[in-house]
Amino acid sequence: MAVQRLSTDSLNLSGNAQLHQQLYVSLRQQLLSGHWPGGALLPSERQLAADLQLSRSTVQQALQQLVAEGYLAPQQGRGYMIVEALPDGFFAASSSAVLPTMPLPTQDYGLTAKASGYSGYLQPGTANVQQFPFRLWQQLLQRHANRPALCNMADPLGYPLLRQALTQYLRQSRQLVCDENTILITAGAQQALFIAARLVARSGQKVLMESPGYPRLKQALQLAELQTSFIPAESASGLDPSSLPINSQAKALFLTPSHHYPCGGIMSLSQRLTLLNWAKNEQYWLVEDDYDSEFQYRHRPMASLQGLAGGQGVMFVGSLSKTLFPALRLGYLVLPPEIVGQASAIQQALHGDVPLLPQAVLADFINEGHFNRHLRKMRRLYQQQKQQAVALLQQHFPACSLLAKDAGLHLTLLLPALTDDITLCQQLNRHGFKLQPFSRYCFLNEPDRGLVIGIADADESKLVQLISLLKDALLKVDTGLRP
């Protein structure tokens, strides 16, 4: 059988890449298109170089790459043969269509996709980043940014100086029972919650959380494939320990005892003690999400469950997103000593090390007093903003309950039962607001309706605009509650 010799007319060299790369891409395109049959021979190197006005070595480089990749086989003295072994008909006309466009199934955990990265007015979960001492932070970054030691492997629990600084802070401010060997630095509080979920339960096992409660905790539990039951939380005092189940076979209760999210209830000491007693009797882990206790305005935060329990039986989750800024993505998990190694192993399987540079910067920021100074300043500022927001909302919506007034960076405004709070939030979004519909926080029975409002950036003009938009929207809801 005569061997077909191919023409190079169809080769098209273009682009900014080096010439041998252009030739490689063009040859590969021809090969993948199927126009050059298996067994046919390419012109010799010399012929190709002459035809294409390229140097011999340029041609050689491109051909050797194609040999290495298995497209061509060198034939001594005859040139390069198109490899016959390629599966017949495998290539379509274009190199970008080897496989038919047939989406394979993926697993569905019922998770909600994040809509956008856009930050809107009065968004809950953010901090007032405009007030952050950037110049100082930049100086600290400069101090550490050229240290090769911070570019390599990290200690399994996180940067030691940060662990020391944080545990000292937590012992003082939260009466935690902890030291640098019982804290795991995490890449944010969400990761800490997921690690806690994996520690307490395997897929199919049961855990409890609050309703209303934190939607992103619910998502973490869904992703861990846990069965979740919901415990009602009252707006005044948070979770009611008398509603806790007996012999439920669940492994853990996740809760926000210092400041219920998003309703603002604060568990009293006797509730806390009842809860601890229940957890001891029922052999439950408690996962204490202490997401904003830095911003109590009326009194110091309540004693932590972790401290009351002497560090046993409680996993304590903390965040720096609200005290510093969300994109810092640092959090921590304080654990009984005997499970710290396990938590770190889970983090390594899930994620690997937490970046070291921000940890080193934060350690200095705390140790040099800037953290406490920033907290004091922000506590005053947020308190003013909260008082102003409460006053304005109460004045204009006297019939609506306003929750979480005394602490934290958010407010929850309850709206008439017929309000479609999801659509309302979408409408407000068109005006630059990014509030959250309260019904998304309710996981039991018929959800209540309302708005979860962030006050980190609440100035009067935004509040007045929000109130005006809300009035318009509520006029359209037939509830008799027209303001």
User: What residues numbered 309-328 form the site for a second copy, per CB under 8 A?
Assistant: 309-313, 325-328
Q: Considering the complex, what minimum distance in angstroms separates the CB of residue 142 from a second copy?
A: 6
Q: Considering the complex, what minimum distance in angstroms separates the CB of residue 244 from a second copy?
A: 15
Which residues 79-138 are close enough to bind a second copy by CB under 8 A? Answer: 83, 85-87, 90, 94-104, 106-109, 111-119, 123, 126-127, 129-130, 132, 134-135, 137-138
Q: Does 220 bind a second copy (CB under 8 A)?
A: yes
Give the per-residue contact string, 368-407, with a second copy (x = CB under 8 A; - = no).
----------------------------------------
Q: Does 445 bind a second copy (CB under 8 A)?
A: no
Q: Does 172 bind a second copy (CB under 8 A)?
A: yes
Q: Considering the complex, what minimum distance in angstroms separates the CB of residue 10 from a second copy?
A: 19
Distance of alpha carbon 106 from alpha carbon 246, whole angstroms: 37
Q: Does 433 bind a second copy (CB under 8 A)?
A: no
Residue number, 77 or 87, with CB nearest to a second copy: 87
Among 56, 280, 377, 476, indicate the residue that binds a second copy (CB under 8 A): 280
Q: How many residues form the binding site for a second copy (CB under 8 A)? A: 132
Q: Considering the complex, what minimum distance in angstroms separates the CB of residue 476 from a second copy?
A: 30
Which residues 250-279 are close enough to bind a second copy by CB under 8 A? Answer: 268-274, 276-277, 279
Q: Does 281 bind a second copy (CB under 8 A)?
A: no
SS (H, E, C) the chain: CCCCECCCCCCCCCCCCCHHHHHHHHHHHHHHHCCCCCCCEECCHHHHHHHHCCCHHHHHHHHHHHHHCCCEEEECCCEEEECCCCCCCCCCCCCCCCCCCCCCCCCCCCCCCCCCCCCCECCCCCCCHHHCCHHHHHHHHHHHCCCHHHHCCCCCCCCHHHHHHHHHHHHHHHCCCCCCCCEEEECCHHHHHHHHHHHHCCCCCEEEEEECCCHHHHHHHHHCCCEEEEEEEECCCEECHHHCCCCCCCCEEEECCCCCCCCCCCCCHHHHHHHHHHHHHHCCEEEEECCCHHHECCCCCCCCHHHHCCCCCEEEEEECCCCCCHHHCCEEEECCHHHHHHHHHHHHHHCCCCCHHHHHHHHHHHHCCHHHHHHHHHHHHHHHHHHHHHHHHHHHCCCCCEECCCECCEEEEEECCCCCHHHHHHHHHCCCECCEEHHHHCCCCCCCEEEEEECCCCCHHHHHHHHHHHHHHHHCCCCCCCC
Distance of alpha carbon 200 from alpha carbon 195, whole angstroms: 9
- 9-48: burial string, b at 16+ Cβ within 10 Å, e else: eebeeeeeeebbbbbbbbbbebbbebebeeeebbbebeeb
First to last CA, the chain: 92
Q: Does 14 bind a second copy (CB under 8 A)?
A: no
Q: Does 349 bind a second copy (CB under 8 A)?
A: yes
Return the structure tokens found at 259.
């400041």
Q: Which residues pair with 410 in a beta bridge?
A: 454
Is 184 buried (19+), middle (13-18) or exposed (0-12) by CB count in 10 A?
Answer: buried
Q: Considering the complex, what minimum distance in angstroms separates the CB of residue 441 from a second copy?
A: 16
Residue number, 137 or 397, with CB nearest to a second copy: 137
Token pair 């002459």 is found at 50
Q: Considering the complex, what minimum distance in angstroms separates the CB of residue 418 from a second copy?
A: 30
Q: Does 341 bind a second copy (CB under 8 A)?
A: yes
Among 44, 47, 60, 65, indicate the residue that binds a second copy (CB under 8 A): 65
Q: Considering the complex, what minimum distance in angstroms separates the CB of residue 196 from a second copy?
A: 10
Among 77, 204, 369, 480, indicate the residue that binds a second copy (CB under 8 A): 204
Q: Considering the complex, what minimum distance in angstroms separates the CB of residue 22 from a second copy?
A: 12
Is 130 buried (19+), middle (13-18) or exposed (0-12) by CB count in 10 A?
Answer: exposed
Residue number, 129 or 392, with CB nearest to a second copy: 129
Query: Which range binds a second copy by CB under 8 A, 206-214, 240-248, 354-362, 461-469?
Result: 354-362
Among 14, 53, 76, 146, indicate the residue that binds a second copy (CB under 8 A): 146
Q: Considering the complex, what minimum distance in angstroms separates the CB of residue 480 from a second copy?
A: 37
Q: Considering the complex, what minimum distance in angstroms separates the CB of residue 90 from a second copy?
A: 6
Query: Which range binds a second copy by CB under 8 A, 62-70, 227-235, 437-445, 462-470?
Result: 62-70
Q: Does 188 bind a second copy (CB under 8 A)?
A: yes
Residue number, 302 or 425, with CB nearest to a second copy: 302
Residue number, 203 or 461, with CB nearest to a second copy: 203
Among 11, 179, 216, 227, indicate the residue that binds a second copy (CB under 8 A): 216
Q: Does 153 bind a second copy (CB under 8 A)?
A: yes
Q: Does 48 bind a second copy (CB under 8 A)?
A: no
Q: Does 50 bind a second copy (CB under 8 A)?
A: no
Q: Considering the complex, what minimum distance in angstroms separates the CB of residue 117 from a second copy?
A: 3
Residue number, 221 or 414, with CB nearest to a second copy: 221
* Amino acid in position 143: R
